[in-house]
Amino acid sequence: MKKSICLYFQVHQPNRLRLYRFFDIGKDSHYYDDFANRTILRRVAQKCYLPMNALLLELIEANKGAFKVAFSISGSVLEQFDRYAPEVIESFRKLAQTGSVEFLSETYYHSLASLASPIEFKNQVLKHKAAIEHYFGVTPKAFRNTELIYSDAIGEMVYDMGFKTMLTEGARHVLGWKSPNFLYSCAQAPSLKLLLKNSSLSDDIAFRFSDRGWSDWPLTCEKYLSWIKAAAQNDEIVNLFMDYETFGEHQKAASGIFDFMRALPEIVIKDGEFEFVTPTQAAKKHRPVGDLDVMDPISWADEERDVTAWLGNELQNDAFNKLNDQAEKLALLNDEALWSDFGHLQESDHFYYMCTKFFSDGAVHKYFNPYDTPYEAFINYMNVLSDFILRVDDAISVSDVNFAAAKAAKAPVKKAAAKKAAPKASAKKAEPKAKKPAAKKTAKK
């Protein structure tokens, strides 16, 4: 049996928030910096998504199905493609039609819902599944959580949703002496198979490729293959997981990253020791060598490989808790705009901007951060969230009035009903929605 190489690329762009001041609370409920979001998306589409998709299509066709990759595309970025660069969706669709590309499942909003609420987590996974089916006509079978966040408990939730394969980080503090280059199974749900990222080999491409200070610069395909061989001498599978923006955006085209990727498949295939597989194929082909115990959540971020990049200080925790406190109230509401904002405010990036770990991974954090300091990020986010909470509370009181009015209308004393309904002029607005109470869940998708 040939050894495997599994390539998976993450595609995501957050909805960056505009400068939202205290004075805007209660007055203006548009939260997003549309200009920045469009500009960045268009730029990355030109530099990365479009050329790289074209290259992958070419490679898949040239290698007649022997070259395979997997994508996870967040709902947030799909919305932006739809709005600002529909041609990108078209190019992904072409890749989907080759049959050599697997689309993974994740939370629609690239959120941290798995750490907050099983219900919200499930909602978002279902919403994302619907979106992938809608755009690409395929149903995702393997799961990858936001930033590869994983724990035993999350694994169990994922398995309960019907997934048999999940991707996560080969975190050293979890693996100990074990190698990431095997298939593992979830400790709490043994039928869920786990693919672990090989950090060192993934980062050689994602972070070090263009670094001229790196002793191994320049990286050639031959050299890279020899490293893969060395790493997997007695092992079975090498998982190379990275952001898709690596190609052309983080590593500029001038660094030769496209040429590297153009040459890699053929060299691997000709060599014959390895073959390319998608995550679902890998899970079928290999057998798990053992359980992986992960009590506390791990991720692919920072030296710590834990979730402290998003929930590591009091700012992040407070913002996260305040946001999740709204879920209960929202469950009573059938308001598409509110649910959409709730989702976008859950994007993990907002919490990443509030990270204060400036010393070890500051450089990476800075690159991805539109704010000068985590404090500014926090203030801005909380101002937006405060406005959002106001809207939720208003909507709740309106629906309460409707409920009372409906009840009172049935009651024999008509005067009381008129009195209760009259003072709230806005109650009328919400009435049509109240007529279809069962529509709540479908509207959210």
Partner 1 sequence: MRVLMFGWEFPPHIAGGLGTACYGMTKGLAYNDVDVLFVMPSASGDEDESAVKIINASDVAVDTVSATVDEFLGKVQFVHIGTNMVPYVDPSDFKTIVEEERKRQIKGFRVQYGQKYKFSGKYGANLMEEVARYAMVGATIAMQYKDQFDVIHAHDWLTYLAGIAAKQLTGKPLVVHMHATSYDRASDDQVDTRVVDLETKGMMAADKVMAVSELTRNICINRYGIDPDKVVAVHNAVDFSGREKLEVERNVKEKVVTFLGRVTYQKGPEYFIEAAAKVLKRCNNVRFVMAGSGDMLNRCIRHVARLGISDRFHFTGFLRGKEVHKMFALSDVYVMPSISEPFGISPLEAMQTNVPSIISKQSGCAEILKYALKVDFWDVDAMSDAIYGLLQYPAISQLAARCGYDEVNSIKWNDVAAKIKGIYQEVIDKN
Sign of the C-alpha dihedral computed for residues 364, 238, 144 and 188 taken in this order: negative
Establish whether the linkage from the previous residue to 218 is cis, with ω within 30° of 0.
yes
Least Å distance, CB 26 to partner 1, is 4
**Which residues are CB-contacts of 292 (< 8 A; sequence separation ≥ 6)?**
174, 175, 184, 185, 186, 187, 194, 196
Q: Which is nearer to partner 1, 24 or 291 (CB)?
A: 24
Using CB under 8 A as the binding rule, whether residue 174 contacts partner 1 is answered as no
Q: Which is nearer to partner 1, 221 or 323 (CB)?
A: 323
Using CB under 8 A as the binding rule, whether residue 321 contacts partner 1 is answered as yes
Q: How big is the CA angle at 55 (ends 52 and 59), to the nearest 5 degrees? A: 140
Using CB under 8 A as the binding rule, whether residue 397 contacts partner 1 is answered as no
Q: Which of 390, 400, 393, 389 is nearest to 427 (CA)?
A: 400
Least Å distance, CB 138 to partner 1, is 41
Cα dihedral 346, 351, 353, 359 in deg (nearest 10): -160
Q: Which is nearer to partner 1, 201 or 319 (CB)?
A: 319
* Region binding partner 1 by CB under 8 A among candidate stretches 24-32, 278-286, 404-412, 430-438: 24-32
Q: Which is nearer to partner 1, 305 or 357 (CB)?
A: 357
Using CB under 8 A as the binding rule, whether residue 317 contacts partner 1 is answered as yes
| Three-class secondary structure of residue 292 per DSSP | strand
> Which residue in this structure is represented by tokens 């209960």?
328
Catalytic residue among 79, 102, 106, 147: 147
**Rounded distance between C-alpha atoms, residue 178 and residue 163, angstroms:** 24
Q: Which is nearer to partner 1, 57 or 392 (CB)?
A: 392
Strand 247-248 with 69-73, pairing: unpaired
Of the candidate residues 53, 185, 383, 402, the single one contacting partner 1 (CB under 8 A):
383
Using CB under 8 A as the binding rule, whether residue 330 contacts partner 1 is answered as no
Single-letter residue type at 27: K
Q: Which is nearer to partner 1, 207 or 378 (CB)?
A: 378
The number of residues that bind partner 1 (CB under 8 A) is: 26
Restricted to residues 178-237, the positions that interact with partner 1 (CB under 8 A) are none
Least Å distance, CB 191 to partner 1, is 40
Of the candidate residues 5, 17, 25, 171, the single one contacting partner 1 (CB under 8 A):
25
Of the candidate residues 1, 27, 328, 367, the single one contacting partner 1 (CB under 8 A):
27
Using CB under 8 A as the binding rule, whether residue 322 contacts partner 1 is answered as yes
**Which residues are CB-contacts of 435 (< 8 A; sequence separation ≥ 6)?**
none
CA distances from 268 to 52, 222, 226, 283 (A): 19, 9, 10, 21
Least Å distance, CB 312 to partner 1, is 12
Using CB under 8 A as the binding rule, whether residue 385 contacts partner 1 is answered as yes
Q: Which is nearer to partner 1, 28 or 82 (CB)?
A: 28
Q: Which is nearer to partner 1, 390 or 439 (CB)?
A: 390
Single-letter residue type at 414: K
* Region binding partner 1 by CB under 8 A among candidate stretches 33-41, 124-132, 268-276, 307-315: 307-315
Q: Which is nearer to partner 1, 76 or 326 (CB)?
A: 326
Least Å distance, CB 367 to partner 1, is 22
Of the candidate residues 55, 175, 389, 404, the single one contacting partner 1 (CB under 8 A):
389
Q: Which of 200, 174, 123 is nearest to 299 (CA)?
A: 174
Least Å distance, CB 341 to partner 1, is 15
Q: Is 90 a catalytic residue?
A: no
Bridge partners (DSSP) of residue 168 are: 196
**Rounded distance between C-alpha atoms, residue 129 and residue 152, angstroms:** 22
Using CB under 8 A as the binding rule, whether residue 426 contacts partner 1 is answered as no
Q: Which of 335, 331, 327, 330 is nearest to 432 (CA)?
A: 335
Per-residue x/- mask for partner 1, residues 66 to 105, rule CB under 8 A? ----------------------------------------
Q: What is the per-residue burial (b if ≥16 Cβ within 10 Å, else e) of 322-337?
A: ebbebbeebeebbbee
Q: Which of 62, 65, 82, 60 is nearest to 73 (CA)?
A: 82
* Alpha helices (H) along 297-361: 308-311, 314-324, 326-330, 336-345, 348-352
Per-residue x/- mask for partner 1, residues 232 to 271, rule CB under 8 A? ----------------------------------------
Using CB under 8 A as the binding rule, whether residue 382 contacts partner 1 is answered as yes
DSSP, res 16 = P
Q: Which of 296, 305, 292, 69 is nearest to 183 (CA)?
A: 292
Residues that bind partner 1 (CB under 8 A): 21-27, 313-315, 317-319, 321-322, 373, 375-376, 378-379, 382-383, 385-386, 389-390
Query: What residues are labeled active site?
Result: 147
